[in-house]
Amino acid sequence: MEKELAFLWEVTFFEFLLVSVVIGGALAFAIGRSTARSWSGWGMMVFYCLLLTVAIRFLHFSLFNGTFFLPPATIATALHYGIVDAVVILLFASLGRMLTRKGQMARQYRFEGSRLVQAVQR
């Protein structure tokens, strides 16, 4: 494949969509859900997301001839696309965490919501 080197994707848009958004996004959503279910902090979620970013960069490298962090000549390019991947992954992980935490709070503090509705109706 011929490299396009756009701002968001390194090889092709399809490669970015498949690996970073679909695969990385699904795994990041699961990371967000698991850290919310275990009541871990945001720092633990960010750590797991950074590990996932390295794995996603390796998938780009091994499947689509993208850059990786190891050869010193490609560190700048790999770092740029690694940051793009990390942002996508953190967005999906945050979404998974917030949706899961919202459900936990709604189940745990159901009585507070009914009090709030009653106070607003008065």
The answer to the question of residue 18 being in a domain is yes
* Section 1-13 average pLDDT: 67
Which residue intervals of 65-109 are DSSP H helices? 75-108
Helix 24-37 with 42-64: angle, nearest 10 deg: 160
The structure's pTM equals: 0.82
- Per residue in 56-94, pLDDT (tens digit) is 999 988 888 888 877 788 788 888 899 999 999 999 999
- Predicted confidence (pLDDT) at residue 115 exceeds the cutoff of 70: no
The answer to the question of residue 4 being in a domain is no
- Predicted confidence (pLDDT) at residue 7 exceeds the cutoff of 70: no
Range of the domain at 117: 13-121
- When divided into structural domains, the chain yields a total of 1
- Per residue in 26-39, pLDDT (tens digit) is 999 999 999 999 98
- Predicted confidence (pLDDT) at residue 2 exceeds the cutoff of 60: no
Separation between Cα atoms, residue 101 and residue 55, nearest integer Å: 26
- Predicted confidence (pLDDT) at residue 4 exceeds the cutoff of 60: no
Residue 88's pLDDT is what? Answer: 96
- Which strand (E) or helix (H) includes residue 15? helix 13-15
- Per residue in 38-48, pLDDT (tens digit) is 988 999 999 99
Separation between Cα atoms, residue 14 and residue 27, nearest integer Å: 18
CB 20 within 8 A of CB 84: yes
